[in-house]
Structure 1
Amino acid sequence: MKDPKDVEAFYKRLRDELEESTSWPSPYLYKFIVPTDADKVAAIEKNFDNTGAVIQKKTSSGGKYTSVSIEVNMASPEAVIEKYKAISTIEGVISL
């Protein structure tokens, strides 16, 4: 587990960068890598149900991992971070 202080510092820095670089609402591209497991991929997708998200999946050449790219319009930096936090509860997911 990561130190909660480090995690909060990361999200604060991300929020600041998103506020400075983007006018909101705006499209945002999420990228995740997850061990190839239909349940885990479905759990990621479920977090974006009814959002109009465009989801692309690609399995690695060895079949061990799946990359999931999700482009969706987000209302604010806080909304972006809320999704990252929700996805972080899925075991084995790496956010890029």
Structure 2
Amino acid sequence: MMDPRDLLTAAVGLIVTTLAVALFPTLPGCALPEREVYVQEPVPVPPRPDVPTVAAGELECLSDDAYRALAERDAVLEAHIARLERLIRTTHEDVD
């Protein structure tokens, strides 16, 4: 037969363990903090501007260096516009 003090010690230990397990999730700092979730709204792709066309004859008066600089400038602007459009499209769900 068990000593009554051992029985009491075991009962108190069981009660303390049960309370600790029941109260553990409610202790401050033990629960995960709430996270804010940001949702990216699709950004509309603006239409490309209508740029004036220049006939080849109108460029004859330019030097070769000026013509190359103008052509390079147009190519750089086109590449930049394409890069910005791709960036904007990443905000859309069905990115191609």
Question: Which interval holds the TM-score relative to the shorter structure?
Answer: under 0.3
Greater helix content: 2
State the structure with more CA Rg.
2
Greater strand content: 1
